[in-house]
Structure 1
Amino acid sequence: MPDENSEFTGLPGRVQAELTRLRAERQMFTAEQDRLKAKLTDTEEELRAVSVDVTAMSSLRAELAEVEERAAAVEERAAALREELDVANARTTALEGDVLFARQQRDSMRAELLSAREERDRLRLALLDAELVLSAGVVEADILPGGEPSAERQRMLTAERVAAEMANELDATRRTLSWRVTAPLRLVRRRMNRP
C-alpha cells in the first residue's frame, strides 16, 4: 500500500500539514460514523428482538447525519485548500516568467552597454587622432605655394575639428544625469522600433 503522504510530496509544508490534519479528522469522523452505523445496526436488531423505544433510534440517526455533515465540511475545506494550492502554483509560474524576462532585459542592457562602450572608445580614438593631427600642425605636402593649406587638407582639418567637438559634446551629454535616467526609456523605444 503506498504511503498516504506520497501524494502530498512537492506541496508547501503548511498545506501538507493542513491536508494531513484534515485527513486525520476525516478518518476520525469516518471511524465515528462506522461506530455509529454499527450502533445503529445493533439498535435495529434490538428493536426487532425487544421493540426498543423509537425515540432512541431517531436520536442515533440525527447523530449520524451530523457526523456526515461534518465529514462533508471537511471535504469542502480540502477542496478549498486544493484551489489555494493551484493559485499558488500559478503565481509561482508567473514569477518565474517575470524573472526570466528580467534576466533577458539585463542581458540586453549589458549588450547595449558593451556597444556604447565600444562606440565611446572608437570616438576617443578618433578624437586622439584629431588631436595628434592638430598638434603636429600642417604637413608641408598639404601647403600650397602661397602658404595656405590645400582645400583637401582644410576639409580634413575642419571635419576632424567637427568630429572632436561632437565627441566632446556626446561625452558630456552621456555624463549628464538626465541621460542616465532616460536610458531605460531609450532601450524600450529601440525595442519597440525593431521589426
Structure 2
Amino acid sequence: MRRHAIHYLILPGWQGSPAEHWQSHWQRSLPDASRVEQADWLNPQREAWVARLEQHIAAASGQLILVAHSLGCVTLAHWAAQAAPALLAKVRGALLVAPADVERPGCPQELQNFAPMPRQSLPFPSLLVGSDNDSAATPERALQLARQWGAEPVVLSGVGHINVKSGHGQWEQGFAYLYRLQTLIEQQARRRA
C-alpha cells in the first residue's frame, strides 16, 4: 500500500477534540489528515453527524483511513450500515478508539438518539481499541462491538476513555495501533489480489 496516497479522516466524538487531544495531535502529525467538523458538538444528532461524515467521504479525492473516537465510532458504524457501495469503497480501514456505548445505563441524554447501536459488520478492515476502565463502554461491551463490527479487538489496561482527561494528550503509543491497522489493510489487499 502506498501510504502517501492515503488521507486520514479524523472523527471526533461528543464535544469534539480540543487542541490538546490526541486526535488533534494526529491531525497535525500525519502527512495528509483532516477532521470531520460537526455543526453541533454539544447536542449531537445522529442523522446530522452521519450526513456530515458522508459529505467528507464523498468529497475526498482518494482512499481514506478513518480515525474515530467515542461517539465518532458510533457515527462511523451508522454511516457504514447505510452508505452506498461506491462511498464504502473509498474507505481502506478504520481505527475505532474507545467507542461510546450509547445503550449503557446512565448514558448521557445527548447521546441517546444514536441508539440502537449498529450491529452490522464493517465492510473494511478495522481495529477497535477499548479499555478495561472506560466509563463509556465496559471491556465486555467493547469486545462485543468488535465482534459485531468485524474489528480486531484490543483492550488496554487502565487507560480510561483514551482522551485528555485520562492523560492521553498526544497518545504516541496509539500510532502502533494505526500501524497495525495498516498491516491488516495490506493483508486483506494481498488476499484479494
**Same fold (TM > 0.5):** no
Higher helix content, 1 or 2: 1
Higher RCO structure, 1 or 2 (CA under 8 Å, sep 6+): 2
> Which structure has the larger Rg?
1
TM bin, normalised by shorter chain, reads under 0.3
Higher strand content, 1 or 2: 2
